[in-house]
Structure 1
Amino acid sequence: MISNLSTILQPKCQSPRLPRIPLLRDTRARVGSSIVRMSAATVNSKVSMKSIAVKPPSHPTYDLRGVIKLALAEDAADLGDVTSMATIPSDVEVEAHFLAKEDGIIAGIALGEMVFNEVDPSLKVEWFQNDGDFVRKGLKIGRVYGKVGNRRKAHSIVVAERVALNFMQRMSGIATLTKINHCGKVLYLTFEGDGLGLTMWEEKFSSGAHFKMASTMHNVDEEAMADAAHPALILETRKTAPGLRLVDKWAVLIGGGRNHRMGLFDMVLIKDNHISSAGGIINAIKAVDLYLEQRNLKMEVEVVYFSTFKLFGNSFASQVETRTLEEVNEVLHFASQTKTSLTRIMLDNMVVPLPDGDVDVSMLQEAVQLINGRFETEASGNITLQTIHKIGGTGVTFISSGALTHSVKALDISLKIDTELALQVGRRTNRA
């Protein structure tokens, strides 16, 4: 008989076995198998503290260095950068600059520096901006170079370039989409075609810290949005790129948002499938209370109320509204009679889009009023630039949006080698 089934069922987190990577002409870097725990308290000591303006979220098993190594391995494979090895002399000295090619919020500076350090620890990276800063098109963000006399500098820079930029561009896109105003309340979103995207930013103060965003269709006043959304705070979800959970959520923090649960392990989130399998919402909450008590676990517990509605209908189907609000009352009554671990109630899909582009938030507002501050509340579903002020006006504690990470548009950033410097070096060495 198996005495400890839970231990056997828990998966063991191991770093993937990766191929040997010939990053440079005469250097083969073998990817290690040790796990580097990445959390707010654990950062590569070789990365400059200036580049870590916003610390990453905590995760007990996330292997950030392994993610970097995997990204380098898939790029270099078993032969390395054949173009650089064919065209760039091993001893050429160059300096390269990071350049913003569009307006937005810069993010991923610390992670980009980790990539260069992984490829060649002798490289020096200097930043002219911090994570979370607003950058304009054409602005130099930083530079990377090697020590005088160090060989293979150009090779190292070019090998690390694309991987570093991939991380930085994605994180900057997420941070830009997440960026909130100085009150820390509002997410600015707009529609571009069929998805959520970002339009242009207009700098409001010379410090570059406060902005308002102008849509091609609407001019949105920052202060009015902040007042309307108060006191809601913006969260992302678990809809992140596979393998980049911590990276994506780190970008949300840099953009000024808050993190929802990191994964399945750090928060209980009771959804419709759990409720159905447990035989009802109260049974599900009781089961969670017992589970946490038996294991002496302390964590947030959230239950989701999911509402269905007629698309573009004038109101919710009455039986759906009655059933959902009755369930809210049922949980509130249970919590008033019994000690429970429940801390938050998610009110999902309670915002109804209307034919004229407006939304009906009456059911969401009624649910928030029923809860009346006894639990935190979270609104989810139909979060757009046009709806967020109404949703925030209902008094919900949080507004969550999966689009922050699953529909992100990368911010365009480039890394350009200083051509004149390279030519000067080439002339000195009779190569130009």
Structure 2
Amino acid sequence: MNLSPLPAIMLEPLVRSALLEDLGRAGDLTTEATVAKYHHATTVLAARQPGVVAGLDVVRLAFRLIDQNIKIDVNRADGSKVAQGEIIASVTGPTWAILTAERTALNFLCHLSGIATATASIVAAVCEHRAKIICTRKTTPGLRAVEKYAVRAGGGANHRFGLDDAVLIKDNHIAAAGGIRSAIKRARESVGHLVKIEVEVDTLVQLEEALSLVPDAVLLDNMSLDELRHAVTMVAGRAITEASGRITATTAPAIAATGIDLLSVGWLTHSAPILDIGLDCYAP
């Protein structure tokens, strides 16, 4: 998998904020009271259930922002499948620093690996079809970049990152603009020539109207399988087709089989369960 890492300058503010939230006003009272400053430990990050790893750069930052002397050796890179009990990485250094950063590191790693794992399950479910699995803007505030990265680690792809990188005309825009035709015309007159325009439709009648104005993509919201098949035939390659609406690993194969291009799955980022990963200490 060709998975480009996120720049540290994007990650550090997120990790620093999370560490400060945990350290509060007085620091790690428990570790300071029980662990000697000179004590060193060798620990491992181990998967307690099978899944796909994502977030190791965030983990590295969490530990090293507490102490630069912590050493992290990665066994299984982001995007890798891991079995239950498999060691993902080893973490060695001052015990007090490892324990202070542990929860922040695990919070990120478990959450992002959970997203990657959930994504991988749906990607696998549609592997016999050409459809791609994509995420949405339904992300945790402040964590969009890393959550969308986790989707890529799981083999999925990203929809737009924000309101500023594409036009997506939804039902409320259509209502406010006075109809699909008016909304698309206004958008085309307003944005630059490099900006893609997508329009959401609920019915085949709306789709026919939208297609007359040649959008770049159409979002087919909560349509039945028969409607999706008909929609793909109507579009006939003139626009990218995207299906949305309560898509799971169980329902995805049939949706992909309609010939749709994209399946957008909001719950991947807003409510995917974590991957259970633990930090185990082997200090004497």
Superposed pair shares fold, TM > 0.5: yes
For the 8 Å contact 1:125–1:145, the answer to whether it is kept is yes
When residues 101 and 334 of structure 1 are mapped into structure 2, their CA distance, relative to the original with a 3 A threshold, is: closer
Query: What is the alpha-carbon distance in structure 2 between the residues aligned to residue 106 and residue 53 of structure 1?
Result: 14
1:55-113 superposed Cα distances (whole Å, 9 cap, x missing partner):
2469xxx9431111110011000100000000001111211111111111111112111
Secondary structure of 1:132's aligned partner: coil
Task: Tell whether 2:86 aligns with 1:116.
Answer: no
For the 8 Å contact 1:56–1:246, the answer to whether it is kept is no
1:303-333 superposed Cα distances (whole Å, 9 cap, x missing partner):
0013xxxxxxxxxxxxxxxxx2222222222
1:123-164 superposed Cα distances (whole Å, 9 cap, x missing partner):
111111111111111112111123xxxxxx111111111101
Secondary structure of 1:243's aligned partner: coil
Matched with 2:3 is: 54
Task: Tell whether 2:66 aligns with 1:187.
Answer: no
User: 1:164 is matched with which residue: 93, 99, 105?
Assistant: 105
When residues 386 and 139 of structure 1 are mapped into structure 2, their CA distance, relative to the original with a 3 A threshold, is: closer
Letter matched to residue 364 of structure 1:
L
Instruction: Please list every run of at least 4 consecutive aligned residues from structure 1 whose deviation after the TM superposition is greater than 4 angstroms.
Output: none
Task: Tell whether 2:217 aligns with 1:344.
Answer: yes
Matched with 2:239 is: 375
Query: What is the alpha-carbon distance in structure 2 between the residues aligned to residue 88 and residue 155 of structure 1?
Result: 6
For the 8 Å contact 1:53–1:131, the answer to whether it is kept is no
Letter matched to residue 150 of structure 2:
A
Secondary structure of 1:226's aligned partner: coil
Secondary structure of 2:213's aligned partner: helix
Matched with 1:399 is: 263
Secondary structure of 1:96's aligned partner: strand
Query: What is the alpha-carbon distance in structure 2 between the residues aligned to residue 297 and residue 366 of structure 1?
Result: 30
Matched with 1:326 is: 205
Secondary structure of 2:3's aligned partner: coil
Query: What is the alpha-carbon distance in structure 1 between the residues aligned to residue 165 and residue 47 of structure 2?
Result: 36
For the 8 Å contact 1:232–1:398, the answer to whether it is kept is yes
1:403-423 superposed Cα distances (whole Å, 9 cap, x missing partner):
21122111111112213xx3x
Matched with 1:268 is: 167
Query: What is the alpha-carbon distance in structure 2 between the residues aligned to residue 385 and residue 54 of structure 1?
Result: 23
Secondary structure of 2:242's aligned partner: strand
When residues 290 and 53 of structure 1 are mapped into structure 2, their CA distance, relative to the original with a 3 A threshold, is: closer
Query: What is the alpha-carbon distance in structure 2 between the residues aligned to residue 382 and residue 93 of structure 1?
Result: 48
Report the CA distance between 1:54 and its aligned residue. Answer: 2.3
Matched with 1:338 is: none
Matched with 2:282 is: 418
Query: What is the alpha-carbon distance in structure 2 between the residues aligned to residue 330 and residue 87 of structure 1?
Result: 69
Matched with 2:136 is: 237
Q: Any residues of structure 2 matched to 1:22-421 within 5 Å, and which?
A: 54-56=3-5, 63-146=10-93, 153-179=94-120, 187=123, 226-227=127-128, 230-292=129-191, 296=192, 298-306=194-202, 324-335=203-214, 342-351=215-224, 361-419=225-283
Matched with 1:14 is: none
For the 8 Å contact 2:184–2:213, the answer to whether it is kept is no
Query: What is the alpha-carbon distance in structure 2 between the residues aligned to residue 264 and residue 380 of structure 1?
Result: 18
Identity %: 40
When residues 325 and 402 of structure 1 are mapped into structure 2, their CA distance, relative to the original with a 3 A threshold, is: same
> Aligned-pair RMSD on alpha carbons?
1.9
Letter matched to residue 273 of structure 1:
N
Structure 1: runs of 5+ lacking an equivalent:
1-51, 147-152, 181-185, 189-221, 307-323, 336-341, 352-360, 423-432
Letter matched to residue 155 of structure 1:
W
Structure 2: runs of 5+ lacking an equivalent:
none
Query: What is the alpha-carbon distance in structure 2 between the residues aligned to residue 63 and residue 237 of structure 1?
Result: 20
For the 8 Å contact 2:199–2:210, the answer to whether it is kept is no
* Higher RCO (CA < 8 A, seq sep 6+): 2
Letter matched to residue 127 of structure 2:
A
Report the CA distance between 1:297 and its aligned residue. Answer: 5.5
Secondary structure of 1:187's aligned partner: helix
For the 8 Å contact 2:42–2:92, the answer to whether it is kept is yes
Letter matched to residue 263 of structure 1:
G
Query: What is the alpha-carbon distance in structure 2 between the residues aligned to residue 390 and residue 272 of structure 1?
Result: 26
TM-score by length of 2: 0.94
1:275-321 superposed Cα distances (whole Å, 9 cap, x missing partner):
111111111111111111xxx46222110013xxxxxxxxxxxxxxx
